[in-house]
Amino acid sequence: MSVLSESLSLHKTVREHYLSLASGTECQVTYVWIDEAGEKLQCKTRTLKKEPTGLRDIAEWDTVWLDCGTLIEVTLVPVKMFRDPFILDPNKLVLCEVVDSNCVPKGNIELNNRSKCAKVMEAVREFQPWFGMEQEYTLFGLDGRPFGWPPLVGFPAIANCAVGIDRVYGRDICICHYKACLYAGVRICGTNAEALASQWEFQVGPCEGIEMGDDLWMARYILHRVCEDFGVVASLDPKPIEVDVGTAGCHTNFSTKEMRSPGGLQYIKDAIRRLSKRHSQHLRVYDAHDGADNMSRLTSELTTSSYNKFSTAIASRAVSVRIPGHVSRMGCGYFEDRRPAANCDPYTVTRALVETCLLETPGKDDDVQ
């Protein structure tokens, strides 16, 4: 670890004293929102006179937004509240939408993707759409090297679900993030080591409708905060290092009540047929940079599919959309879209799935391979 990294951690030993100070009935609420680029997160904190019991107790708050080189005032509108795992109860984290402060009524000018997704989810509420997203991330030191990699060593062996200090680096971060999400109320359901020795994955879900995006964004915020405490950086870059393996995705599982019911396999196959007709359209919204990142990630190598052609199969992980083996045997369940990149916006991914599978009549695009 560099000297800079060590200096960042020095204050952690005295931090506990200040956290133990009594605050009376007052409560700290940290507002969290997605930045202008739609990829990173920002936050700021204010004091409330007492612990909020719901969103109605948390006021909107203004901040600034860089729009085409100009600073404009925007309003943070609280949409979901979580417990704060960093300074503990009664303090809160609150995820916010960003709307234009000069727009009357507010919300007519969309500054992020949540409100559009929420409208679509409301339109399909009768289908009871469930999602689960598998967020992969890679840890780096402040020197830019993958966290824990020994100097003068090229590429450590593939470490998927591995155990051992010679095979995985950063398990403490993974464990602390998991515990912090559980405390906060994020619907985190699992975690594992990934292909690179400093790469990990956590899973969020099942979540219904708009809650998928809300919980994943808050899980990402908590991840970055945990990494601050450890003096490392969590990257959601779909191609974090220039090697033949080691991409990072955000595989997305999707089902409706019909898919989950006996005989649901026919609804799963129908949804996949619809997806096969809109392959290129989905890839354009499946990462943060209009498909550019996924072009380097989806190379048909190892467990990735082709960027250019749609594919599907049972129990295969080298396809665009997978039907898990147990789902095929049971005849109902869910499917996994393996195309979303690690830096995707879960609001746009879940919205695209719902629109294609439940609302739109598919047109001609790419055929199933």
Residues 238 and 346 in one domain: yes
The Cα–Cα gap between 268 and 287 comes to 24
Tokens of 274: 């619809």
Q: What are residue 214's DSSP bridge partners?
A: none
- Checking if the pLDDT of 50 tops 70, the result is yes
Domain that holds residue 79: 22-111
Among 69-73, 108-112, 268-272, 363-367, name the one with the lowest average pLDDT: 363-367
Total domain count for the chain? 2
Cα 27 from Cα 92, distance rounded (Å): 8
In terms of domains, do 69 and 137 share one? no
Model confidence at 367, in pLDDT bands (50, 70, 90)?
very low
Q: What is the pLDDT of residue 170?
A: 92
For the chain, give the percent of residues with pLDDT over 70. Answer: 89
Model confidence over 159-179: pLDDT tens digits? 677 788 777 899 999 999 999
Q: Looking at 111, 141, 156, which one is the last position of a domain?
A: 111
339 shares a domain with 247: yes
**For position 2, what pLDDT does the model report?**
47
Q: What is the pLDDT of residues 189-221, one digit of tens each?
A: 999 998 888 999 999 999 999 999 999 999 999
Does 157 score more than 80 pLDDT?
A: no
Give me the half-sphere count of Cα atoms (radius 13 Å) on the Cβ side of residue 19. Answer: 14
Residue 283 vs residue 101, higher pLDDT: 283
Arithmetic mean of pLDDT, 44-55: 96
Token pair for residue 222?
């908590």
Same domain, 125 and 29: no
Q: For residue 177, is it within any domain?
A: yes
Q: Do 42 and 150 fall into the same domain?
A: no
pLDDT for position 304: 84
> Which tens digits make up the pLDDT trace of 11-30?
677 788 888 888 888 999 99
154 vs 283, higher pLDDT: 283
Average pLDDT value for the chain: 89
Asked if 140 and 264 sit in the same domain, the reply is: yes
Other CB atoms within a 10 A radius of the CB of residue 298 amount to 25
- Both 137 and 161 in one domain: the answer is yes
Residue 1, domain member (yes or no): no
Q: Is residue 78 part of a domain?
A: yes
Summarised one tens digit per residue, pLDDT across range 96-142 is 999 987 765 554 466 789 999 999 999 999 999 999 999 999 999 98
Question: How much is the average pLDDT of 25-47?
Answer: 94
Range list of H helices, the chain: 3-9, 12-19, 114-123, 171-184, 211-230, 257-260, 265-276, 279-285, 292-297, 325-330, 346-354
Specify if 83 maps to a domain: yes
Same domain (yes/no): 101, 125: no
Whether residue 160 is contained in a domain is answered as: yes
- Let me know if residue 4 belongs to a domain: no
Q: In this structure, are 282 and 325 located in the same domain?
A: yes
Structure confidence by residue, pLDDT tens digits, 304-339: 899 999 999 999 988 999 999 999 999 999 999 999
CATH number of the domain within which 40 lies: 3.10.20.70
* In-domain check, residue 365: no
Q: Is 250 exposed, middle or buried (0-12, 13-18, 19+ CB in 10 A)?
A: buried
Both 281 and 327 in a single domain? yes
Does residue 12 sit within a domain? no
Say whether pLDDT at 6 is over 50.
yes
Q: Are residues 30 and 166 in the same domain?
A: no
Question: 362 falls in which pLDDT band (50, 70, 90)?
Answer: low
Give the integer Cα–Cα distance in Å for 120 and 350: 10
User: How many CA atoms, within 13 angstroms, populate the side-chain half-sphere of residue 177?
Assistant: 32
Task: Please state the rounded mean pLDDT for residues 260-270.
Answer: 98
- Among residues 83, 111, 139, the one where a domain terminates is 111
State the pLDDT confidence band at 148, using cuts at 50, 70 and 90: confident
What is the model's pLDDT at position 105? 52
**Of 81, 111, 141, at which residue does a domain stop?**
111
β pairing state of 233-235 and 199-208: unpaired
- Give bridge partners of residue 323 from the DSSP assignment: 314
**C-alpha angle 153-234-10 in degrees, rounded to nearest 5:** 90
